């Protein structure tokens, strides 16, 4: 079993080398895949990894999925929030209904995707930028990052690293959080897992 530090170092070597021609896409999309029991360790290592990247000449930017989700929910009109609260109070054990409503808020009009796209657009054309996408576990149970990535095809112009809690089950297949069905819709380089 490889260590997170070794996996991160291998990933950075791949970022520096660029994408291989064998991949279906030439976009610089990379995943650091790690077991779910390592989520806290990844969060602990993040400041050191960011410092290492800065020392190596990168302009480091972080996009937290958890923060973006909270922003989407905070931006919802008060009337919608009131409906959610009333429906939840009326049937507090109907989690699937609550989760479906929250998932719809994230995907309707690409709310979450648009936040990531805005950051990618802002970083485009600036040398030595790198984007770290963290807190992907916050997508559970709403959606998977692969669906967001696929909607943004053609928008990744700076190296983007997704810190993915789950399992790699092949060259392009991942299991989100280790228990969701395999998803092979990724157009990226995977290290770890």
Tokens of 150: 């696929």
Q: What angle do CA 53, 138, 123 make, to 5 degrees?
A: 40
Q: Over the stretch 101-121, which tens digit does the pLDDT of each residue have?
A: 778 878 888 888 899 999 999
Alpha helices in the chain (DSSP H): 4-17, 39-55, 65-74, 78-90, 95-107, 111-123, 145-151
Contact between residue 105 and residue 72 where contact means Cβ atoms under 8 Å apart = yes
Tokens of 59: 């302009």
Q: Is 103 inside any structural domain? A: no
DSSP conformation class of 161:
E
Q: Is 127 inside any structural domain? A: yes
* d(C-alpha 71, C-alpha 91), whole Å: 25
Q: Is 71 inside any structural domain? A: no
Q: Over the stretch 70-82, which tens digit does the pLDDT of each residue have?
A: 998 888 888 888 8
pTM: 0.85
Spatial CB neighbours of 116, under 8 Å, sequence gap ≥ 6: 63, 68, 133, 148, 152
Tally the domains of the chain.
1
CATH number reported for the structural domain that contains residue 27 in this entry:
3.40.50
Which position has the higher pLDDT, 19 or 127?
A: 127
Q: Is 70 inside any structural domain? A: no
- For residue 143, give its domain range: 4-64+112-192
Q: Is 58 inside any structural domain? A: yes
Q: Is 81 inside any structural domain? A: no
DSSP conformation class of 139:
G
């Amino acid at each position: 079993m490889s260590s997170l530090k070794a996996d991160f170092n291998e990933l950075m070597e791949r970022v520096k080398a660029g994408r291989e021609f064998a991949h279906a896409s030439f976009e610089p999309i990379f995943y650091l895949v790690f077991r779910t029991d390592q989520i806290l360790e990844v969060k602990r290592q993040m400041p050191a990894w960011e410092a290492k990247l800065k020392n190596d000449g990168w302009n480091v930017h972080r996009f937290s999925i958890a923060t973006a989700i909270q922003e989407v929910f905070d931006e919802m009109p008060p009337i919608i929030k009131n409906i959610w609260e009333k429906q939840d109070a009326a049937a507090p054990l109907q989690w699937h209904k609550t989760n479906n409503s929250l998932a719809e808020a994230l995907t309707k009009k690409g709310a979450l995707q648009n936040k990531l796209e805005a950051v990618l657009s802002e970083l485009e054309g600036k040398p030595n930028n790198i984007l770290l996408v963290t807190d992907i576990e916050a997508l559970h149970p709403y959606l998977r990052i692969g669906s967001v990535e696929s909607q943004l095809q053609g928008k990744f112009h700076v190296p983007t690293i997704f810190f993915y809690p789950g399992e790699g089950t092949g060259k392009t297949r991942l299991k989100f959080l280790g228990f969701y069905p395999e998803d092979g819709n990724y157009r990226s380089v995977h290290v770890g897992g």
